[in-house]
Structure 1
Amino acid sequence: MAPAALFLLLAVALSLAMTGAWLAVVRGASSGWVDATWSFLVGAAGIAVALTPVAGWEGDVQRRLVVALIAVLWSCRLGFHIVLRTLHGGEDPRYARLKKEWGDGWKSRLWFFLQIQAAAALLLAATIFLAARNPAPGLRWSDIAGIAILVAAVLGEGLADAQLARFRSDPANRGKVCDAGLWGLSRHPNYFFQWLGWTGYAVIAIGPAGTWPWGWTALAGPAFMYWLLVHVSGIPPLEAHMLRSRGVAFAAYAKRVNAFWPGFNTKERPT
């Protein structure tokens, strides 16, 4: 199969799958299923681009298998976490806010919004494709480094989600802002580790010597994910919700903890 044909089929499949998620929400399902669907789709797309035979892009079989396995691991961990959160937490406040802002036309606007998410999944799948198709024979030190980054990202994101869930499960913390564990180093450690994982794919794609030109284009994956999480659909709407629901407590938290990069921030700054 040619690369263009693979990505054309993948684009159609992603679009149809996100349309299915849209239909579910329009018919009354919780909007949390949208993010769960997207997470599983990225993993499925990762398997497809890593393992489908592509003429001229054979890559190394070991590398392709490892990349596919890690894509599945990341996808399943995040996807099932969102499923459990949706089952117990109800409507996602970000989507609830969008519905309110969009008014009567929210159904059509939501469809377009989810098609943008399908396009984002396609771009991220291209990053996985480049990591899997690096032509260097055998697993090299760059593969080990990339795998280590990806495993650390999956474990770190899982730990952050577990710490937040444990904090929320305590009735004494109702109305408070979680600043325990990783949440004391970053206001969004789960987003940070999600971004970090995509840098792992880029390291694998670039390879040990960086002589494969296509490998460097995989940097578009972490760059795009950073922009998405920090400036578009991640931090901005979530922090707007937190300011509405937690008010002064979240404003104080924002002054002493970095938004994205983990670290200790004692400098007071406007919120």
Structure 2
Amino acid sequence: MYGTAPPALAGLAVAVAIALPTWGVSVLRRDASLADRVWPWLIAGPGLAYAAHFPWRGSPLAGALLAVLVAWALRLSLYLTWRNWGHGEDSRYRAMREARGPTFAWQSVYVVFGLQAVIAWLVSAPLLVFFAAGQRGGAVAALGAALATFGALFSAVADAQLARFLRGARAPGAVMDRGLWAWSRHPNYFGEACLWWGFWLMALGAAGAAAWWTVLSPVLMTWLLLKVSGVVLLEQGMAQRRPAYRDYAARTSAFVPWPPRRSA
């Protein structure tokens, strides 16, 4: 992919340009979890930079990719802002702050915001390759667009269902097991994974073998969702805090939606 180095560096610069001011605000507010709210734009920002660098007008698939990317970033950033508004710093970042002591505010520029900017830039790799490719058609790219659209919608519906459940009246310790959450314990994360596998298929369909290496993006995102900041982290101690969750986990798939078992 000759000629992609300058736009790739521009994409990294965009991610850093979003991360650094957010870090400054986080220091003033003592809230490093602001990183979560800008995370979608750390990925979408480089993607928009790639689209600005390479000609794509007239390509329906390129237009679809940009529409899904921007809609996903806008929806997720607003949802995370709304969900966390008024709750202070997330417990994950509070634990980091306590472990690292008074210097955490300055350390967070690289252990939180800088790290997330680099990871987001790596995740944006399929977007770079897609826009750099000469042709953007084909069945594989169309399949990728369909999968990415499905993933964005699936995740949005799952988040909306959970938000409605949390706003409503419920018994203490009640577990969300309705709608998509009856088929998967983390349907929002499943949708996120589908989104990035879809974008990778679009890059693969557009660039062919030159896009194989960008499989790092969906693999990395899926690993993060399953093992780092997603499923494993959320389910740690959940059964102890909410006894009903044990039965829910026994009958419900952890990630890939599947019909629930009839009995635990």
TM-score by structure 2 length? Answer: 0.86
Gap change, CA 1:116 and 1:16, over 3 Å in 2:
same
| Residues 259/31 of structure 1: CA separation in 2 closer, same or farther (3 Å cut) | farther
Shift of 1:90: 4.3
Of stretches 181-190 and 211-220 in structure 1, the one that deviates more from structure 2 is 211-220
CA contact (8 A) 2:187 2:257 kept: yes
Amino acid at match of 2:16: S
Partner of 1:39: 40
2:179 aligned partner: 181
Cα distance in 2 between the residues matched to 1:23 and 1:241 = 33
State the secondary structure of the residue aligned to 2:192.
helix
1:1-271 matched pairs, under 5 angstroms: 2-28=3-29, 30-53=31-54, 62=59, 63-87=61-85, 89-111=87-109, 112-136=111-135, 139-207=137-205, 212-240=208-236, 242-243=238-239, 246-264=241-259, 266=261
Amino acid at match of 2:94: A
**Amino acid aligned to 1:123:** L
> Are the structure 2 counterparts of residues 179 and 109 from structure 1 closer, same or farther at C-alpha, using a change threshold of 3 Å?
farther
CA deviation profile, 1:152-190 (whole Å, cap 9, x unmatched): 111100100011001111132443221111111111111
Aligned amino acid, residue 250 of structure 2: K
Instruction: After TM superposition, give the deviation of residue 103 of structure 1 in Å.
Output: 4.1
Normalised to the residue count of structure 1, the TM-score between the two structures is 0.84
| Contact 2:174/2:242, CA 8 A, preserved across alignment | no
Query: Which stretch has the larger CA shift, 212-221 or 116-125?
Result: 212-221
Q: Distance in 2 between matches of 1:107 and 1:174?
A: 36
One-letter identity of the residue aligned with 2:119: A
Aligned CA distance change for structure 1 residues 219 and 166 (closer, same or farther; 3 Å)? same
How much is the aligned-residue C-alpha RMSD, in angstroms?
2.8
CA deviations 1:116-157 (Å, max 9, x no partner) are 2111111121111123333336x3322322211111111100
Distance in 2 of aligned mates of 1:174 and 1:201: 40
Shift of 1:237: 2.1
**Post-superposition CA distance 1:72-124 (Å, at most 9, x none):** 12111111111221225544333334334444443344331322211111112
Cα distance between partner residues in 2 of 1:131 and 1:147? 12
Which structure 2 segments of 5+ residues have no match?
none
For structure 1, the 5+ residue unaligned runs are: none
| Identity across matched positions, percent | 28
C-alpha change, 1:171 and 1:267, in structure 2 (3 Å) is: closer
Matched residues in 1 for 2:249 and 2:32: separation? 27
Residues 206 and 216, structure 1, Cα contact 8 Å, conserved in 2: yes
Local SS of the residue matching 2:236: helix
Aligned length: 261
Alpha-carbon distance, 1:193 to partner: 0.4
From the superposition, tell whether residues 74 and 67 of structure 1 become closer, same or farther in structure 2 (CA, over 3 Å).
same
- 8 Å contact 1:15–1:115 — kept in the other structure? yes
